[in-house]
Amino acid sequence: MRITDVTVTPVAFRDPPLLNSVGVHEPWALRTIVEVHTDEGVSGLGETYGDLGHLNRVRAAAPALTGLDVHDLNGLHARVAAALGGEAGSDRHGLTGPLTVESTVDRVFASFEVATWDIRGKALGRPVSDLLGGRVRDAVPYSAYLFYKWAGHPEAEHDAFGEALDPAGIVTQARMLVAEHGFGSIKLKGGVYAPHLEVEAVHALREAFPDHPLRLDPNAAWTPETSLKVAAELDGVVEYLEDPAPDIDGMARVAAGAPMPLATNMCVIAFEHIAPAVERGAVQVILSDHHYWGGLSRSKELAGICRTFGLGLSMHSNSHLGISLAAMTHLAAATPNLNYACDTHYPWNSADDVITEPFTFVDGAVPVPTAPGLGVELDRDALARAAENYRRCGLVQRDDTGYMQRHDPSYERKRPRW
């Protein structure tokens, strides 16, 4: 079964004003939908980032896949690498760490790789989780992903999620998400306010949810010294502290004195980062993400490395739609040592999904799809609307900092900030 054509569709969907360490989400989030077609009439889906640089790399690589056997993942990776010609991308929004040539190839390859798993599953009549080794769980738990946020985008109506700018607002947001989706663990995106204020919010969450595992992620907004102070204050309160300080060296300094595990999706984002991180003892939990670790097969390889070195494993999320959630769920279902609930932005973005049957959470988990392949199908009308949103919204690059500065000219992007 050989690839005959690849369709690449950039899309945009509504995003609330979610605050983070580099600014605030713009009104539109960008993604790219990939469809890989074959000579046997079976097509597969993938979803990836939508920033223009990445989109152009996906578009450049797509024609090189024509004629390739869908089972030849090594050949697929080689063709993507050749098409990109040694180019290294950039993390311009500043939330996922520095890219290398290898990780740039992996990010482009991943969208096509997921589509080939979808194709093979459909051809065999089996869900992707079966092809990845079989599911070890029938439903994948996800965490409630909390954000400090404005009530709505400036000069727009307030959104249904409401304002969350203090501990009381964060607890209200958590109650809403837990009541609606049943989440059994909670993550707070920090790095927005002074650390002592975010510690107050975590303690308020602990009081409101005494049995829920908690996490705090300031996206490297703190120095190692500040990180150690926060770690001491949250001893016994959070299950792990995510990316408190920048870089492997900074994380290693924190890990040496922190009483809880440190997790990352910023300082270890490619295979070449694992050895120095393990050597330094910098992290104890890797937040995998098939979008930048090179798809599902390479994410399974990452899971094996984590098992070898006794590292915990969870899953990172960016603003995404249902194709990504399907792939995440199949991967998590077939990864025995994924021992923490996964992150997901889906509750913030699901209203504009491009699949025919958007996912719902059952007791905070997504039941693993049992239909062949990823188990999702495109809603062509919804895809057309999302593509039109992309053409009309005027955004081609995520820019949380620039959007913040338009509304607060005094805002300065700074890392570490405290």
Bridging pattern class, strands 28-38 and 312-315: unpaired
Strand partners for 32: 10, 48
Q: Taking a C-beta distance cutoff of 8 angstroms, is the pair 253, 224 a contact? A: yes
Catalytic residue from among 181, 212, 291, 316: 316
Q: Active-site residue 316, yes or no?
A: yes
d(CA 401, CA 94): 9
Burial class (CB in 10 A: 0-12, 13-18, 19+), 119: buried
Helix axes 167-181, 195-208, angle to 10 degrees: 40
Bridging pattern class, strands 23-24 and 43-49: unpaired
Q: Is 153 helix (H, G, I), strand (E, B) or coil?
A: coil
Q: Please name the residues in contact with 56: beta carbons below 8 A apart, sequence gap of 6 or more.
A: none
* DSSP per residue, 295-324: HHHHHHHHHHHHHHTT-EEEE---S--HHH
Catalytic residue from among 189, 273, 290, 291: 189
Burial 123-162 (b: 16+ CB within 10 A, else e): beebbbbbbbeebebebbbbbbbbbbbbbbbeeeeebebe
d(CA 319, CA 50): 10
Residue written as token pair 């570490």: 416
Q: Measure the CA dihedral 195/196/198/204, to 10°.
A: 160
Q: Active-site residue 189, yes or no?
A: yes
Residue numbers annotated as active site: 189, 316
